[in-house]
Amino acid sequence: MISTVADSPLDDIEFLARSEHRVTALEALVRRPQSGDDLREITGTSKSTIRRTLREFEARHWIERNGHRYEATQLGTFVASGMGELIGRFETEQKLRDVWQWLPNEASGFSIEMGADAVVTVARSDDPYRPVNRFASLLRETDRFRFVGFDLALLEPCKDELARRIGDGMDTEIIDPPSVARHILSTYPEHCSGPHESGRLAVRLHDDLPPYGVAILDHRVGISGHCPESGTVRVLLDTDTPEARDWAESTYASFRRDSRPLASELIAE
């Protein structure tokens, strides 16, 4: 028996969302005409389930039948597109749900949409260095590296990798708070002297940097967030979207304009 028309848009959303195979079937019908057997194979459901689903789709005028095949109508294509976008939004929200508070806020120009296609690496209790390890892997794939923001918890564990990559020819510029620059130079002089003398490491100072980090690499940009209480890196979001790169380049340029070169007396310390 064909179902009655839904009373509200939420009823139709619930109908699609209640069983994952329904969205899969509708998306398949948008791509090209499909038979019932085609849809059973695509969705992995039974013949009776597909029959019921197709009846529901026909009742809503989302599909039409042409011989043994079904195809999406304009209405069905419209619904599938909107449902795909909605699912994508929730996928992004789930990735960022537990870490968004450590990422740049909307006032900075950063948007949640920039995280849609990002790799989001979150620290776990059994693997607290996951974001750091992901960052180290990105360093191995770039020939130019720029960083601004809170970097101690991210860059300090990677000091050996950074020194090695700079030694291999990676051009590096880091914008640091003066206190962090002093700490790094005094604690790891052997890691700093060679790269700095090579001319491939430039350190600039800024007194008011953001609480997050922005890394710009050849093909990706990374945004790191840390917990202020523990100082540990909680998340690294990295992406290759043009929107995120434009934001990162603009953010870096704005801080760089107000920064100053590392003073010679600071090097001497």
- Give me the pLDDT at residue 6, please: 62
Boundary-marking domain end, from 90, 121, 150: 90
In a domain, 2, yes or no: no
Give residue-wise pLDDT tens across range 54-93: 999 999 999 999 999 999 999 999 999 999 999 888 988 8
In the sheet that 171-176 helps form, which strands lie side by side, from edge to edge?
119-122, 233-239, 221-226, 213-216, 144-149, 171-176, 201-205, 260-261
Pick the closest to residue 222 from 168, 129, 150 (CA basis): 150
CATH number at residue 83: 1.10.10.10
- Which pLDDT tens digit goes with each residue over 99-112? 888 889 887 999 88
Res 55: pLDDT: 95
What is the domain extent for residue 144? 98-268
Is 3 a domain residue?
no
For 104-132, letters b (16+ CB in 10 Å) and e give beeeeebeeebbbebebbbbeeeeeebbb
Angstrom distance (rounded) from CA 115 to CA 241: 9
Domain boundary among 43, 62, 90: 90
How much is the average pLDDT of 168-194? 84
Domain final residue, candidates 90, 112, 133: 90
pLDDT tens digits for range 202-226: 889 999 998 899 999 999 999 999 8
Q: What is the pLDDT of residue 127?
A: 92
Other beta carbons within 10 angstroms of residue 198's beta carbon come to 13
**Are 118 and 214 in a shared domain?**
yes
Number of domains in the chain: 2
0.85 exceeded by pTM? no
Quote the CA–CA distance of 266 and 179 in Å, as a whole number: 10
pLDDT value of residue 88: 87
